[in-house]
A = this chain, B = another copy of it.
């Protein structure tokens, strides 16, 4: 039965919310749209076919004076906003790190939006607080980490790493909390040349400056060179610089290389330095038994970040910060004003103590839905399949002499370039870049790039639940086709 929908002007004398029956009707419409969208997203152009300013130009310059009907708003969403959406859901989205939401994740977000709770202290959302603790414990166990790790959900890996490094600063320079850094010695964070830009951003935010991060060279497989690290720490200590933290990466952004965590930990232990492991992308792969050995040594870390919103079927944002020393994180951040003191006191967890944001969405719900709906075995089979697909593509590339590839490629990201014999490196770079641009302009696939030792490489990351081998075969065919076109133009001097 169709519900009678009042016009916006009649909404409870203009003082209340959208009436529940109107919400029900439009939410059902939105649900239908979502189900259709997810069914057909593979037919849409992956990258939005717009230029900067197009969306803005299509929208009014100011908010409407009178309320509008939800019909009109949803119609404009479809006709104006949607064409400007780059479809991260597209099964041929292979840029950056391919991520994937999921049905259960979307259901969780719907309920989170409706409940609209704010889990800053236990009392303000007991379920939001305790379900976060429970899902983090479940995740830790799935990953095979010791029970000493406690988790907290942050928005993104950038924030998780910032929080971890703030805790490292608290542990290594405890006087800074009161006196600030101007009173103390210079201090440093160590990370490889391949570490993510968020580590440098954290160093700047924390007041350590760009010189507060020391970049350690990598070996021929883009792994942190441990001897260089040892030398750097010794040199800094001799110069009166306080080493605060070492960031080891499992699954770097460019090549998904893996730092030698165990050997790095030995240095961290010897000098009493905080060890933070950035496994934002790759971390979920530790759930797969045969991939677990790639994570050797991470159980020694003081903190680990991995993002369920990357490779664990959870809509953005959901970043898990696993802490072996949660008390250090709490020491860095806890500042309890009177109005947030509650009768529960220390008998309960107050999530505000473990990060920058005081307010917190009920992010655990979607992750709990995902873990229950798929189960451990369902998660394992899906991540395993993404890794298998990446290896399948790697084999195709290795079989074709016109291409070269970064090895190893232990996870689901393949890095390659067009490099036929007899073409010089600069021309290979130009061609590879043009191939990428032409792939992305086709609307059929989206890949991103990196530079390694001055050369241009295509990165193709697999992480979407809709990606199949058939589709990947078509993508590989398209890549070779674009390469031939590009090479043809090149040979014709174009």
Q: Give the interface centre of A24, A114, A159 by most chain B CB atoms within 10 Å.
A: A114
* Docked complex Cα distance between A39 and B24 (Å): 11
With beta carbons under 8 angstroms apart, the residue of B52, B177, B209, B376 that contacts A209 is B177
Does A206 reach chain B (CB closer than 8 Å)? Answer: yes
- Nearest Cβ in chain B — how far from A11, in angstroms? 8
A64 touches B113 (CB 8 A): no
Q: A56-B133, A103-B18 are in contact. Are A88 and B118 (CB under 8 A)?
A: yes
Does A127 reach chain B (CB closer than 8 Å)? Answer: yes
Does A407 reach chain B (CB closer than 8 Å)? Answer: no
Interface bits A94-123 vs B (CB < 8 Å: 1, else 0): 011001111111110111111111101011
List residues of chain B with CB within 8 A of the CB of A185. 182
How many chain copies? 2
* Docked complex Cα distance between A307 and B131 (Å): 26
A356 touches B162 (CB 8 A): yes
B356 touches A200 (CB 8 A): no
When C-beta atoms are compared, the residue in chain B nearest to A17 turns out to be B465
List residues of chain B with CB within 8 A of the CB of A19. 103
B35 touches A27 (CB 8 A): yes
Q: A105-B113, A187-B182, A209-B179 are in contact. Are A253 and B337 (CB under 8 A)?
A: yes
A67 touches B374 (CB 8 A): yes
- Nearest Cβ in chain B — how far from A121, in angstroms? 9
Q: A339-B96, A356-B159 are in contact. Are A103 and B22 (CB under 8 A)?
A: yes
Q: A50-B126, A56-B134 are in contact. Are A376 and B63 (CB under 8 A)?
A: yes
B62 touches A141 (CB 8 A): yes
Does A333 reach chain B (CB closer than 8 Å)? Answer: yes
Q: A180-B208, A206-B205, A373-B70 are in contact. Are A88 and B113 (CB under 8 A)?
A: no
With beta carbons under 8 angstroms apart, the residue of B124, B178, B316 that contacts A86 is B124
Of A221-229, A424-432, A447-455, the stretch lying at the interface with chain B is A447-455
A102 touches B373 (CB 8 A): no
* Docked complex Cα distance between A191 and B472 (Å): 57
Does A479 reach chain B (CB closer than 8 Å)? Answer: no
Interface bits A53-79 vs B (CB < 8 Å: 1, else 0): 111100101111111101011101100
Interface bits A329-345 vs B (CB < 8 Å: 1, else 0): 00011011111100110
Does A477 reach chain B (CB closer than 8 Å)? Answer: no
- Nearest Cβ in chain B — how far from A335, in angstroms? 5
* Docked complex Cα distance between A54 and B126 (Å): 9
Q: Give the interface centre of A47, A59, A101, A115 by most chain B CB atoms within 10 Å.
A: A115
List residues of chain B with CB within 8 A of the CB of A182. 181-182, 184-187
When C-beta atoms are compared, the residue in chain B nearest to A3 turns out to be B35
Interface bits A183-196 vs B (CB < 8 Å: 1, else 0): 11111000000001
Of A260-268, A357-365, A398-406, A483-491, the stretch lying at the interface with chain B is A357-365
Does A234 reach chain B (CB closer than 8 Å)? Answer: no
Does A236 reach chain B (CB closer than 8 Å)? Answer: no
* Docked complex Cα distance between A110 and B106 (Å): 7
* Docked complex Cα distance between A99 and B95 (Å): 38
B210 touches A207 (CB 8 A): no
Of A150-158, A270-278, A292-300, the stretch lying at the interface with chain B is A150-158
Q: A26-B103, A166-B205, A332-B204 are in contact. Are A356 and B158 (CB under 8 A)?
A: yes
Of residues 297 to 354 in A, which have CB atoms within 8 Å of B's CB atoms? Answer: 307, 309, 313, 315-317, 332-333, 335-340, 343-344, 347-349
Q: A67-B374, A373-B67 are in contact. Are A348 and B30 (CB under 8 A)?
A: no
- Nearest Cβ in chain B — how far from A27, in angstroms? 4
A116 touches B131 (CB 8 A): no
When C-beta atoms are compared, the residue in chain B nearest to A13 turns out to be B381
Leading 3 A-B pairs by shortest Cβ distance: A207-B207, A18-B103, A180-B209
A selection of 27 A-B contacts at a CB cut-off of 8 Å is A14-B381, A16-B465, A20-B38, A28-B28, A30-B111, A55-B130, A61-B137, A62-B142, A70-B373, A77-B365, A81-B365, A84-B127, A85-B125, A85-B127, A86-B126, A88-B124, A100-B116, A105-B113, A116-B316, A117-B316, A159-B356, A181-B209, A197-B337, A207-B208, A317-B361, A339-B459, A356-B356
